[in-house]
Amino acid sequence: MTKQGIIVGAVLLLALPAAAEELAGADIAYIEQSDCDAIAVHFPGGADYVPGVAADGSRVAPADLGGGYAYGLRPVYEFDMTLDPLIGRNPAFSSATEMTVARVSIDMTTGRTTIDGHDVSGANHALAEACARLHHKPVK
C-alpha cells in the first residue's frame, strides 16, 4: 500500500463518524397514547395526595392536623453494593474478600437512580415523564 493510499484511507475513516452524525439528524421523539400504554411506570395525574383537595378536585378541610410525628421519606437514599466472592467457600477468608463494587443513589423526589454517579433510570423514565405531562390535569 502506498503512502498516498494510507492518507486517503485515514481521511475517509475520520470523516465517516461526522457524516453519520449529520445524516442522523436531531433526536426528536413524538409521544402518543400507545407509547404511554406500553410502559408500566406511568401513573395518570391526580393520584397523588394533595392536602385540602378532594379526589374530584374540590376544596375540603385538610386532614393533616398537627400532633403526629414528623418523620418522612428521605429525599435521597444512598448505599454501597458489596460483593463477597468467597462467601460459603472457605470461612477463613470470607470476611477478607468482601469488596464494595458500586455506590447506588436513589432520588425519591425525581425517581432517578444512579450507580457511581451515572444515571441508570433509562429511557422509560423519560417516556414516563412525557406521558405524565401528556395527561396532566391541574387541580381545580
Where exactly are the structural domains of the chain?
26-45+70-135
Looking at residue 42, its pLDDT comes to 45
Query: Under a CB-based contact definition with an 8 Å cutoff, are residues 101 and 5 in contact?
Result: no
Residue 94, SS3 per DSSP? helix
Q: Which residue has the higher pLDDT, 136 or 139?
A: 136
pLDDT tens-digit map of 55-81: 777 888 866 666 556 667 788 999 998
Looking at residue 80, its pLDDT comes to 92
What's the average model confidence in pLDDT over 130-134?
Answer: 72
The rounded mean pLDDT for the chain is 71
Looking at residue 120, its pLDDT comes to 82
CA 49 to CA 58: how far, in whole Å? 13
Residue 72, SS3 per DSSP? coil
What's the average model confidence in pLDDT over 108-134?
Answer: 77
